[in-house]
Amino acid sequence: MGSGRRCIKLRDYPGVSSFEDNRGKLRYRYRRKGYAIYLHGEPGSEQFEAEYAAARGSVGPKSRGPQPKAGTINGLCASYYGSAEFLALRDSTKRNYRASIEPFREKHGSKPFAQLERRHIKTEIAKLASTPAQANKFLKRLRQLLNHAVEMEWLKVNPAMGVKPMRTEGGFAEWPEGLIAQFESHWPIGTRQRLALDLLLYTGQRRSDVVLMARANIREGAIRVLQVKTGAPLWIPIHPRLAESIAAASPSGLYLLMTEYGRPFSAAGFGNWFREQCNAAGIERGYSAHGLRKAAGRRLADAGCTAHQVMAVLGHRSLSEATRYTKGADQRRNAEAAIARLGTGDERNLSSAVGNLSSNAPNSLE
């Protein structure tokens, strides 16, 4: 202890023991009734204290009912749900993760996860073949669950990493301009339905963000958004058409969009309500609120925005996500330019000149 760091005895942390791993690194482990949760940081540090508190809260004496058997999928799920990684997620994200994991746990919870092989996972994925997006979401969550087992040194290899996701048709359908015009024709400026469309289309935000847009968030010609999914703060200038729509609808509640009972929408409730308005406008199923976010990205790219500019509006966390929009727009612009050049006659004149040279050249075979 020559470093001068205060030595904190492990007896100050009931259930925690220390050991050296195979690399000679000192590690700390919280164990309770067959569970082992590895803790990061040094005893006394903020990270260690937070993870220790989370571990005690997830598998400690406050837990109700019998503890799942160690080594089973039930036990792995309980350990993952009590991990610092999972506890750091937003509550809505935790619910989404559990929604993907729990059906699998309910069916196979008593089985040992160490015997889970790639073929078993592919079988589970095949059961969800009718909904490829859900199948791929389950695969992502299972990978994370089994990654936790690898980090805990309960598994050496994650068997889900070698399983290929199902092919999809791009997820949510992007609204074409014709359908946008159809909705606008049915729901004119001044209606709540039109305001919903314009908020989605001219801010490019998810429904979970649109339902939280309040009048108080509008300042200096822009609307401020704190994205629910990413936590990213955004400042989005209000497009003139959106400004017109807001003014015509004259929202008087706390939020720009409220239910007919004057209450805030939940994200799911808004999605269901918006689907009903799409039905009334004759918009076929498959085109949802999220599809308007895609349409917003397309419009930005078609207007010549760079991938970074698209990211600034939509709030994407990676350049690759925004590049999906600009790549398509660049391809269209490049193709249009290429075909336009074919119409100038330059290529025909050049090929004619080359042909004349060829016909006048001596034939070496004669």
CA distances for 361 relative to 24, 87, 351, angstroms = 80, 80, 15
Tell me the pLDDT tens digit for each residue of 311-333.
Answer: 999 998 888 888 888 887 888 88
Q: Which carries the bigger pLDDT value, residue 350 or residue 98? A: 98
CATH number at residue 66: 1.10.150.130
According to DSSP H, which parts of 204-318 are helical? 207-210, 240-249, 267-280, 289-302, 307-314
Pair (150, 199) in one structural domain:
no
Q: Is 169 inside any structural domain?
A: no
Confidence of residue 293 (pLDDT cuts 50, 70, 90): very high
For 64-112, the pLDDT digits (tens) are 445 556 788 988 998 999 898 888 887 778 888 988 998 998 899 889 9
The 8 Å CB, 24+ separation contacts for 199-202 are 199/242, 199/245, 199/256, 199/257, 200/289, 200/292, 200/293, 200/296, 201/292, 201/295, 201/296, 201/299, 202/238, 202/239, 202/241, 202/242, 202/296
Which residues fall within 8 angstroms of residue 253, CB to CB, at 6 or more apart? 262, 264
Mean pLDDT on 57-61: 47
**Is 347 within a domain?**
no
Q: What is the DSSP string of 262-291?
A: S-BPPHHHHHHHHHHHHHHTTPPTT--HHH
Extended beta strands in the chain, E state:
16-20, 26-32, 35-39, 218-219, 222-226, 233-237
Tokens of 10: 């492990």
Instruction: Give the Cα separation of 191 and 188 in Å (integer).
Output: 6
Q: What percent of the chain has pLDDT over 90?
A: 45
CATH code (residue 250): 1.10.443.10
- Same domain? 50 vs 98: yes
Average pLDDT over residues 44-63: 61
Whether the per-residue pLDDT at 280 is higher than 50: the answer is yes
Q: Would you say residue 359 lies in a domain?
A: no
Distance (Å, rounded) from C-alpha 32 to C-alpha 14? 10
Q: Are residues 238 and 185 in the same domain?
A: yes
Residue 311 forms part of a structural domain:
yes
Q: How many domains in the chain?
A: 2
The whole-angstrom separation of Cα 107 and Cα 164 is 22
Percent of the chain with pLDDT over 70: 81
Residue 116, classified by CB atoms within 10 Å of its CB into exposed (0-12), middle (13-18) or buried (19+), is: buried
Q: Are residues 219 and 307 in the same domain?
A: yes
Record the tokens describing residue 82, joined without a space: 């009590």
Give me the domain span that covers residue 277.
Answer: 177-335
**Are 233 and 317 found together in one domain?**
yes
The answer to whether residues 79 and 50 belong to one domain is: yes
Same-domain status, 17 and 133: yes
Assess contact for 292 and 196: CB atoms under 8 A. no
Domain boundary among 109, 139, 162: 162
Instruction: State yes or no: pLDDT of 226 exceeds 90.
Output: yes
Residue 49 parent element (H or E): helix 46-59
Q: What is the pLDDT of residue 42?
A: 78
293 neighbors 200 (Cβ within 8 angstroms):
yes
Q: Which residue has the higher pLDDT, 124 or 330?
A: 124
pLDDT digits (tens, 9 = 90+) for 160-215: 998 988 876 655 788 999 999 999 999 999 999 999 999 999 999 999 999 999 99
Looking at every residue in the chain, the average pLDDT score rounds to 83
Residue 350 has pLDDT above 90, yes or no: no
pLDDT at residue 3, rounded to an integer: 42
Instruction: Evaluate whether 252 touches 152 at the Cβ level (below 8 Å).
Output: no
Question: Confidence class of residue 245 from pLDDT cuts 50, 70 and 90?
Answer: very high
Q: Is the pLDDT of residue 40 over 70?
A: yes
Bridge partners for 18 per DSSP: 28
- Model confidence band, residue 363 (pLDDT cutoffs 50, 70, 90): very low
190 and 214 inside one domain: yes
- Measured between alpha carbons, how far is residue 272 from residues 259, 278, 337 in Å? 12, 10, 43
Q: Which residue has the higher pLDDT, 226 or 342?
A: 226
Beginning with the edge strand found earlier in the chain, give each strand of the sheet holding 35-39 in spatial order. Answer: 16-20, 26-32, 35-39
**Residue 45 shares a structural domain with residue 144:** yes
Question: String of b and e for 218-235 (b: at least 16 CB within 10 Å)?
Answer: eeeeebebebbeeeeebe
Q: What pLDDT, on a 0 to 100 scale, did the predictor assign at position 189?
A: 96
Tokens of 309: 């500019």
Question: Residue 261 — left, alpha, or beta (φ > 0 → left; ψ -120 to 50 → alpha)?
Answer: alpha
- pLDDT tens digits for range 7-36: 344 666 777 888 776 667 787 877 766 566
Residue 292 scores a pLDDT above 50: yes
Q: Is the Cβ–Cβ distance between 160 and 76 less than 8 Å?
A: no
| CA distance linking residue 283 with residue 278, whole number of Å | 5
Q: Name the helix (H) or strand (E) containing 86.
A: helix 84-87
Please report whether residue 116 resides in a domain: yes
* Residue 298 pLDDT > 80: yes
**Residue 326 confidence (pLDDT):** 86
Residues 217 and 98 in one domain: no
- Same domain as 150, residue 52: yes
DSSP-assigned states of every residue in 108-132: HTTSBGGG--HHHHHHHHHTTTTSH
CA distance 292 to 7: 57
